[in-house]
Amino acid sequence: MARQTARRVVLVAAVVVLAVMAGILFGAFRGNSTGFFRIGDYRPRPPALANRDVFVFPNQAGYDGQYYLALALDPALRNPGTLQTLDHPQYRCRRILFPLLGRALGLGQPGLIPYAMLLLNIVAAIMLVWLVARWWQIGGGSGWGGLLVLSVLGIWEVLALTTTDLMSTTLFVAALYALRLERPAFAALALALAALTREVMLLYWLAMLGGLAVSRQWRSLRWIVWAGLPAIAWNFYVLRHIPAGAGGNVVQILFGLPGVGWLEKGQEVVAGGLNGKNLFELMVFLSFLAVLGALLANLWRLRAVRAVWPAAAVALLLAAMFLCAKFFLLNYYLDYSRVFQDLFVLLVLNLGFTAARRYPAYAVLCLAGISSVAFLLHYTLGVI
């Protein structure tokens, strides 16, 4: 019965995700799949797309998806023009798994690779729903709880912009799920792949090691300790062989003293006045403050549950990172709502335990859902 429910949940998720993607494709991009990569005209176009019909956003720098598309088209950087399309070559090349899989699935063909990368994120979104549904069922809850992750704004942003965040989140949740099933080898593999998808997962890895040690889950710890090594080796290779570019140190750009970015964000919201864009920014930022409170409160309530500790350690890491985020990161909702989307995903996972306080968390997820619907309506209409 539980597996049948999980299959139904997956079917609903697939219908919703595919319908939304089709709406964006034909509503915002006039059927051109390259629109999902938000290619701007400030940088050169990827050489492999020079003679192809590309959906370009005029007078814009574009967004991160264009860089991963460039890497998927030329992962070995054989064409010197590929480096010129990247804003932070080292930073982008660390996140190699997503573009590599896109190239493999697209058979190396420039016309197929964009569709392959879209498909990867669609599958990741559906798999995430399935993993959360099974997580809830293990705790005695309803598998329909898996659909709650579709309220998370960051997930829809990644689907619309084709970045690496969704795949890394799904692999991270797969690692937590495997740990809960006491299959640490699978957990280590999923976490290793997550770290090759997005380098910040190395911090998740360290946090999970701490959580496993504190909760004395020694068997799992012996496997997870190896999970970060492939990504560490890859990062050393990138730092040694790939030019840094002119963008500067990404960590110094994005993070600083605790709370300063929050204060500057508050000042910006107050100064911005009452308009639609400013009110939306305020709603998104308040939803993140609310999810921090709901998540930390539930983690304290569930502190006696050993299965919670690896996720709790990551939640504390993300809370510290969000507290130290500079205004540069908090200035635009598309940035921080993707980077910290796992706060919402972790909250949904925590709700799978019967001891969790659900109603305050449901209110937070409702606010997130309103943000997601507003984003999708505007994006589909081509307003954002």
The tokens describing 251, both together, are 């960590």
Q: What is the DSSP letter of 247?
A: S
Cα(347)–Cα(325) distance, integer angstroms? 20
At 252 the pLDDT is 87
56 forms bridges with which residues in the sheet?
A: 39
> Residue 93: which residues within 8 A CB-CB, separation 6 or more?
71, 77, 86, 238, 242
Q: Are 354 and 371 in contact (CB under 8 A)?
A: no
Residue pLDDT, tens place only, 74-83 = 999 999 899 9
Residue pLDDT, tens place only, 129-187 = 999 999 999 988 899 999 999 999 999 999 999 999 999 999 999 999 999 999 999 99
Residue pLDDT, tens place only, 333-346 = 999 999 999 999 99
Cα(133)–Cα(148) distance, integer angstroms? 9
Cα(196)–Cα(188) distance, integer angstroms? 12
Cα(298)–Cα(347) distance, integer angstroms? 8
Q: Please state the pTM of the whole predicted model.
A: 0.96
Residue-level length of the chain: 384
pLDDT for residue 274 is more than 80: no
At 363 the pLDDT is 95
From 95, 168, 99, 185, select the one nearest 128 (Cα to Cα).
168
pLDDT for residue 245 is more than 80: no
